[in-house]
Structure 1
Amino acid sequence: MNVRKAKKEDIEHIKYMWQYCFNDPEGFFNYYFSKKYKEENTLVIEDKEILSSLQMNQYKICLNKKIYNTSYIVGVSTVAHARGKGFMKVLMKETLRELYNKNQLVSILMPIDYRLYRPYGYEQCYDQLEYNLDIYELREFKTAGDFQKATKQDINSLIDIYNFSMQNKNGFIVRDDEYFYNLFDEVSSENGHIYLHKTDTGFDGYIIYFILEDKILVREIFYKNIKTLKSFLKFIYNHNTQCKSVTIQCPLDDKIKNILPNIKHLKLNIKPFMMGRVINFKEFVKTLEVDNLNYTLRIKLEDNYIQENNKTFKIIIDSGKIIVNETDEKYDIKIDINSLSQLAFSYLSVYDLDALEKIQYQKQEHLNILNNLFRPKINYINEYV
């Protein structure tokens, strides 16, 4: 058995496994392998034939106001006759080593089943709001501007609206020109639509949506003010002769629920979306912004797959500067990599973990000190591959 980077001649095997495992529509499948797939970001297991593979798609993520290079793990797949033989474990172990050697500090992953990836240190770090309502509930809204089908010439406006909308978000993907060029192709591959909203002052919102038989699925809806949001809701309603219901996916702090005339029959779900993991704890801690305080904290971290993390670390905060060293001293805090990742991604607080009995500490003051390093924020991510 050999674990290695993919070669050009492996592509048909990898495509076969992907389609067998995920059964994507032809349009999206062709988009992914023409625009996103890169053999240098792909690992395979070979034993006379390609038996298992995954991709490490590259992004930049804004986490706690710092930009990190990150690998988004996708396409974890194994041929039918090789399942149950431990190939996924081998592949994930090699992947974590690859990410550590690339000096990446964090990684993300969208799970098909959370139980598959928790053993490797990935943990739930992102949720979304999902609205489900009758399209006629939107009939009272008014249009406050004009709508224009977006093209690739509008990318600067899309970036501007996205960046405005991410001002108070955490953990989001940094989107540039290349990102939006690919997004147009991705949305088109699934017969979707991107529209901009325009007023006298310029473009102030965009919507990405798909018409699925008699339902509209809104993948993104970003806006600079409530008037623009109301315009988009009217825009959705104007499809009432085609569609009877609408599903809208949003960040957790979305305002739609605050302006709907009648929420009695609204179905509002919190949808688990993405897992995260710290790859290099020592270097990640050094990037944190801390208050201008002075304290020392010893954290015993348990990590079964990255041994460089599986140690006790002495963190010294000296007037806002962070020094991190390994130590044999007794720990103040004991935590596993899953729970530590939820802290690092600002998904849960130290007090949440305490209530869940997922953190051990010697004194309450140690917990309070750790709270100075990691505080919850509004996480948002909406990338699918």
Structure 2
Amino acid sequence: MNKYLISKDKFNEFYDLYLYSFNRDDSQHRKDVFKERFDHSLVYGIMNGQKLGSGLFSIPFDINFHGVGFKMNGIGDVMSAPEFGGRGGASSLMKAALTDMYQNNVTLSYLAPFSFGYYRQFGYEQVFDHTKITMENTQLPRVKNSDQGHVERFAIKDLPEAVKTMYFENNHRGGVVRATWWWDHMLDKHQDYQIALAYDDNDVLIGYLIYYDENETFNIHEWFNLNPLSRKLLLKFVTKHQSIFQRFSYESPDPDFKADLLIDPYSAKLEVTPYMMARIVNLEDFLKRYPIKKMNLAKIYFKVDDTLEWNNHTWELSINDGIVDLKIADDKKDDFEVSIQSLTKAMFGYRSLNSLAKYGFIQGDLGKIKALDEVFVHEKPQLIDYF
């Protein structure tokens, strides 16, 4: 057992450190929601005398990456008491959590950074962006009523199982495969959220919209559409709130602006915002089960620079009729060298190896770099969840 894993009877100490470290107000609702996350996490901590000095969550999840399932642990609530800061406590816990992930056959890790630079030292890299769209109520587009389908509105606690199925079937770019407890946690955490459901004439669910009210703003939290009818129905539902709200905002997991789809692109404020980071914990597993885009690849040698010793090797890679052959080849001369951060970007489809080479993040044989780049997906990943 890792010496930094703490027992479940330390909940109150962990919760108190959380409140102080993040300047949060205590409430029964906050405590109950936090306890749900605590109960489903690997909880790490370092004692400072009789008090908890540092702590973090490592939350087990599954993700769907282009049809392939991988284990992923989400790092959350990394914190240290001010009097314990600067002693490397959080750093020790991060290293311990990553080691445990590898030993527990976890392939990937995600986190929400307070500092991108800080977490890059642990091998994490930005791969998830969001597009935030904001419009004043006077700028909303005109949407005609549809003579097909209908919309129903519910409190989030009454979310039907069909919504969970729709999310599951349309989540394939690295998003979380939501377990029952995580759905329950989300619903408990966001008790004031509401959901609008779009149905066709056969009463089949074709889309949903999760939203909430904050400071006279209609905030869209999550939006799925199976077809243009759903999009039209739910867009009309949104615009019918024009007289109630001053502004409308949607933070989409899709980093593509799509401003050209608006009648007047100037009517909306559009901005791409960095969201969360990812880390390859087990490179061998990620490469061997990766959804490759090229069925054959001549032998390539590439050196990976990583603080995790099991990834920090020169690797020999070839693909024959879709079968990946990967092995450690530290005795071979590499064709190029790449950091685990740059490789994470490329394998997640966030930025190509060719682009990384162009900007000087990879040096070596450009032909080999291009050949490996053709193996990887080139669609940017999408993540809605936050932890």
TM-score normalized by the length of structure 1: 0.91
Task: Give 1:254 deviation, angstroms.
Answer: 6.4
Task: Give 1:109 deviation, angstroms.
Answer: 0.7
1:157 equivalent to 2:162? Answer yes
Relative to 1, partners in 2 of residues 1:47 and 1:197: Cα closer, same or farther, differing over 3 Å?
A: same
Q: Structure 2 counterpart of 1:380, which letter? A: Q
Partner of 2:10: 10
CA distance in 2 between partners of 1:27 and 1:206 (Å): 30
1:300 equivalent to 2:275? Answer no
Partner of 1:186: 189
Q: Once superposed, what is the RMSD of the aligned Cα atoms?
A: 2.3
Task: Give 1:31 deviation, angstroms.
Answer: 4.3
Task: Give 1:151 deviation, angstroms.
Answer: 5.8
The worse-fitting range, judged by mean Cα deviation, of 42-51 and 153-162 is 153-162
Query: In structure 2, which of residues 126, 129, 134 is the aligned counterpart of residue 127 of structure 1?
Result: 129
Q: Structure 1 counterpart of 2:303, which letter? A: K
Per-residue CA shift, 1:180-232, capped at 9, x if unaligned? Answer: 333322221xx221221223132211111110121121111111122322332
Q: Structure 1 counterpart of 2:161, which letter? A: N
Q: Structure 2 counterpart of 1:333, which letter? A: F
Partner of 1:38: 39
The worse-fitting range, judged by mean Cα deviation, of 4-13 and 176-185 is 176-185
Partner of 1:380: 382
Contact persistence 2:107–2:280 (CA under 8 A): yes
1:288 equivalent to 2:294? Answer no
Partner of 1:360: 363
Contact persistence 2:156–2:194 (CA under 8 A): no
Relative to 1, partners in 2 of residues 1:23 and 1:261: Cα closer, same or farther, differing over 3 Å?
A: farther
Contact persistence 1:165–1:223 (CA under 8 A): no
Relative to 1, partners in 2 of residues 1:352 and 1:32: Cα closer, same or farther, differing over 3 Å?
A: farther
Partner of 1:317: 319
Query: Match of 1:4, SS?
Result: coil
CA distance in 2 between partners of 1:146 and 1:373 (Å): 42
Contact persistence 2:47–2:54 (CA under 8 A): yes
Partner of 2:265: 263
Task: Give 1:175 deviation, angstroms.
Answer: 2.9
Task: Give 1:178 deviation, angstroms.
Answer: 4.3
The worse-fitting range, judged by mean Cα deviation, of 51-60 and 178-187 is 178-187
1:114 equivalent to 2:108? Answer no
Structure 1: state its 5+ residue gaps.
Answer: none
Partner of 1:343: 346
Task: Give 1:143 deviation, angstroms.
Answer: 4.1
Q: Structure 2 counterpart of 1:44, which letter? A: G
1:175 equivalent to 2:154? Answer no
TM-score normalized by the length of structure 2: 0.90
Query: Match of 2:188, SS?
Result: helix
Structure 2: state its 5+ residue gaps.
Answer: none
Relative to 1, partners in 2 of residues 1:348 and 1:139: Cα closer, same or farther, differing over 3 Å?
A: closer
CA distance in 2 between partners of 1:195 and 1:23 (Å): 34
Aligned residues: 378
Q: Structure 2 counterpart of 1:384, which letter? A: Y
Relative to 1, partners in 2 of residues 1:67 and 1:164: Cα closer, same or farther, differing over 3 Å?
A: closer
Task: Give 1:13 deviation, angstroms.
Answer: 1.5
Task: Give 1:241 deviation, angstroms.
Answer: 3.4
CA distance in 1 between partners of 2:174 and 2:6 (Å): 29
The worse-fitting range, judged by mean Cα deviation, of 339-348 and 146-155 is 146-155
Partner of 1:146: 151
CA distance in 1 between partners of 2:256 and 2:222 (Å): 11
Q: Structure 1 counterpart of 2:281, which letter? A: I
Relative to 1, partners in 2 of residues 1:75 and 1:299: Cα closer, same or farther, differing over 3 Å?
A: same
Partner of 1:332: 335
1:216 equivalent to 2:221? Answer no
CA distance in 2 between partners of 1:36 and 1:325 (Å): 38
